[in-house]
Amino acid sequence: MKPKLSRFAIPYVIWMALFVVAPIVLVVVYAFSNDLGGFTLENFSKMGTYAVVFGRSFKLALIATLICLVIGYPVSYMMSREGERFQRAAMVLIMLPMWINFLLRTYSWMSILENNGLLNQVFQKTGLLSLYNSLFGTSLEYFPMMNTQGAVVLGMVYNYLPFM
């Protein structure tokens, strides 16, 4: 008698139910409930107050998508024109960062972009920051890069470019 292979799917189904389906159900429940737990559509009437946030989110997503398109398709075309050995090596180099947790990759970029992060330290040590200050008459101690739209686009491009 053959063992049923579908039994191996049970842990996956439980995992998906807990960490994918349950959060979606909770979001739907909270969307249609008020502070007392009763049914309401009032939450949806307030969505207009967040139109600027929605617009900015779509704009940043569009910019990141276009950058991924401009980088991803030419690279994949060039890779397709190369030999099999080069293609394998290139795919490993592209996919290697994907083996690291998404959250860890995002926090790594945060440590690179923060005010006293790696990038600002390089700018200070190479004199780029003092050159900028002398050219534009400013007195910056660092380039503010964290919590900017550019940092958001950079993070999205870095995390989603391999999928392109």
2: pLDDT strictly greater than 70 = no
Residue 60: name the closest of 145, 150, 160 by CA.
Answer: 150
Q: What is the pLDDT of residues 19-68, one digit of tens each?
A: 999 999 999 999 999 999 899 999 889 888 999 999 999 999 999 999 99
CA angle 64, 70, 75 (to 5 degrees): 120
Q: Given pLDDT bands bounded at 50, 70 and 90, which one contains residue 16?
A: very high
- Cα distance between residue 151 and residue 119, in whole Å: 13
Tokens of 92: 């490993």
Q: What is the pLDDT of residues 142-152, one digit of tens each?
A: 999 999 999 99
What's the confidence (pLDDT) of residue 3? 63
